[in-house]
Amino acid sequence: MTVRVRYAPSPTGEPHVGNIRAALFNWLYARHRGGRFIVRIEDTDQARLVPGATEAILNGLRWLGLDWDEGPDVGGPYAPYIQSQRLSRYQEAADRLLAEGHAYRCYCSPERLEQVRAEQARRKEPPRYDRHCRDLTDAQRADYAERGVAPVVRLRTPLEGQTAFHDYLRGNIVVDNSTLDDFVLLKSDGFPTYHLANVVDDHLMDISHVMRGDEWLPSTPRHVLLYEALGFAPPVFVHLPLILGTDRTKLSKRHGATSITEYRERGYLAEAMMNFLALLGWAYDEKTELFTRAELIRYFPLERLGKTPAVFNPEKLDWMNGVYIRRLAADDLAARLVPFLERDLPPQVPRPLDATYVAAIVPLIHDRLKRLGEVAELTDFFFLEELAYETRLLLGKDLTADLAGRALETTLPALEGLEPWDAPTLERVIRGLAEDLGMKTGPYFGVLRVAVTGKTAAPPLFQTMAVLGRARTLKRLHDARAALLNVAV
């Protein structure tokens, strides 16, 4: 079998990580089997379309490195790949189903349908269409047409018997037809529902495997009936396990970010995100967690897919992202950090940033970063001309204003003519000053750290001073001393 799989998102919002996980699994399987990965935009629900959503979805795929062989921007033998541009194909399928008696036109108004649902709810019955128009006479249909009532087209679902299908992960599934309704295939505006459009397109585009979230499992009997009515051979169905939050409920915004765009903007690496998403419903073995892109492709037969829901653990993602960041070469990391610094540093910091200066900072924070989006908060003092000092931070737990001020006064002249201005020389001189002052290094280094960074937690002190440079370091020591002069002894 030639593997042809598709990712068919609806552009109704930002790309959800659950949908992107489905795209990743389809892409990995296509690449594993030397097949084709197709992107198809399912935009037939015109009322729910969100401007810019299609481009956001495609950008999310590009960011992860999921290239497609056929799609709306690259074309292919089954173009077009946007469903709103394929309406004639769905109309043809609906006409055929009508002609062969597998479907019928329904003229019920939204008001009548709402009334039917309300009555069913009062009787504690499941909501479904009551088949009011299933057996209209030709005269009745002609009367509706003469009055200009635009119908929908519904499938004439069998009233008895069963519909069976095989899911790759869950085995054989059998559903009583009496539990199914006569669902809509074609809406009154000429646009198809998801059910008709995806069945028609999957057949016409030669899709071999339909891999999608198992929230679509209840809809599959409907699709199987459609395949049978149209005389199409169904694909292999693979319904992927749900993604849950850490509280084991379906992943939603209450668990935090759910859009792949948000994770990109927060500074997660694409390669870490790919690795993390791949483990949500797939495993190579019981212990291996870190995989390169090539390894994921190599190790992705369907047999290793899981059946149970996967838990989206943000802490694990942070850990994994940190591992990937630490694996980056310093110059690569610096280049990736510049856009986040440009975006997040205070507005008074001049742009564009000096890339050489950023590269000098990177070794000081490389091991501390979990996300690229943390960089501005960790390093803003490297770029600011003025710092605002909190006296309590300058003094720490063990110093008086007098002692802290004396420490700064002693340090300033010792550093003014220091050569060379580098971390080893700074450390040697400053450690000697601690002895001269009779101070423990902890409190002494602490006041210097806050003086040059404004923070109690910062990169290594001497390397930080070396990168800041002599002029900026000395100015900050002066400014910190001045701030202490205003404190009552």
250, 253, 307, 440: the active-site residue:
253
Under the phi-then-psi rule, with left for phi > 0, alpha for psi from -120 to 50, and beta for the rest, what region is 45? beta
Three-state helix/strand/coil letters over 83-97: HHHCHHHHHHHHHHH
Phi and psi dihedrals of 189, rounded to 5? -85, 5
Q: Is 307 annotated as catalytic?
A: no
Q: CA 353, 358, 362: angle at the middle one, nearest 5?
A: 155
Q: Which residues are catalytic?
A: 253
